Amino acid sequence: MIKALLPSLAMRRLLPEQRRRAAPWIIGLMTFVSLVVGVAGAVALGAIGDLGRSAEGRWSLQVTGTPAQAAQAEALLRGSAEVTSVQPVPEAEVRTTLRRWLGPGADTLGLPLPTLGEVTLRPGANGEALAQRLEARVSSARLTPYSRELAPLLGTLESLATLVIGLLFVLAAALAAAVTLAARATLDANRQTLDVLHGIGATDDQLLSLVQRRIALDALVGSLAGATAAILVVVAALIPARGLLGGWGGAPSLSPIAWVLLALLPLLQAGLATLVARRALRQALTDSP
């Protein structure tokens, strides 16, 4: 196929250039949308991975009983072989969080505050068995895994990632349809020239290479322009919001594989457009009298 994109200079001169072509604009727009959507999906997948790793082995302790029961629960956890650390949450921090929800009047309501703590387990420890033992010894104590608390958020992010994948397939199908129309329009616009060339002995492959080269160049230019615009949007919108680079305010990071796929996306779009155009042009040449 590479050879088909490089017809001789003499053959290229036979096909007049068209200054106004819609294909680069269509392909550029599709590439721009695909790249922005792809970044959103990659960030969602990165967030899922980061949250899953941060919640691994971490459990939340809640004691709604007396301070003595809270101290008993903490002592039981510290003495357990499965536990590596127990960090109680200061009461002032709990009241500050409650004040955010209920306003300044939260301090005057006299609400009973539970004793909270963060428990870290050893890798491979049976947290469910530990939670059952703790509840049997201290009835007001509950040990809950962070993964259970984060399950609704992770489910939402997974749905978003699935939606992004579906959108990318839809955009690829739309790109294929648009390129097919553009290829046939290019063929129709140069029908007389192609008929003359065919009449003097040019083969279908030679005619195909002429039109396909033009579509391939349009696809490459459009993809690079769309990718450039998408990069500018990502830099302008996501990096200042600390929503792309890992380590900025705990934001999700993109894996090296995600960076490679995003970098290859414009080239994949151009390759898809070229393949679709080649098939459409060959079919049109075959169907023509």
Q: What is the pLDDT of residue 42?
A: 83
Taking alpha carbons only, the member of 221, 189, 282 closest to residue 26 is: 221
- Average of pLDDT values for 165-191? 80
SS3 76: helix
Kindly tell me the sign of the dihedral angle through the C-alpha atoms of 186, 188, 189, 192: positive
pLDDT tens-digit readout, 80-135: 888 888 888 887 887 787 777 777 766 666 667 788 888 888 888 888 888 888 88
Identity of residue 230: A
Phi-psi region of 57 (alpha: psi -120 to 50; beta: other; left: phi over 0): left
CB 143 within 8 Å of CB 127: yes
CA distances from 148 to 56, 58, 105, 132 (A): 11, 11, 31, 16
Average pLDDT over all residues of the chain = 76
pLDDT tens-digit readout, 6-24: 444 444 444 555 555 677 8
Kindly tell me the sign of the dihedral angle through the C-alpha atoms of 145, 146, 152, 154: negative
Domain definitions of the chain by residue range: 3-53+151-287, 65-139
Taking alpha carbons only, the member of 120, 102, 122, 123 closest to residue 111 is: 102
Residue 134 pairs in a beta bridge with: none
CA distances from 261 to 6, 41, 95, 281 (A): 28, 12, 46, 29
- Average of pLDDT values for 235-242? 62
pLDDT tens-digit readout, 193-218: 666 666 666 666 666 676 777 777 77
Please state the length of the chain. 289
Most confident region among 158-162, 175-179, 234-238, 240-244 by mean pLDDT: 158-162
pLDDT tens-digit readout, 242-252: 544 444 444 45
The reported pTM is 0.66
Q: Which long-range contacts (CB under 8 A, 24 or more apart) does 184-187 make?
A: 184/280, 184/281, 184/284, 185/22, 186/18, 186/21, 186/23, 186/211, 186/214, 186/215, 187/211, 187/281, 187/284, 187/285
Q: What is the pLDDT of residue 201?
A: 64
Kindly tell me the sign of the dihedral angle through the C-alpha atoms of 70, 75, 80, 86: positive
Phi-psi region of 126 (alpha: psi -120 to 50; beta: other; left: phi over 0): beta
SS3 269: helix
CA distances from 72 to 65, 247, 262 (A): 11, 37, 53
Q: What is the pLDDT of residue 21?
A: 64
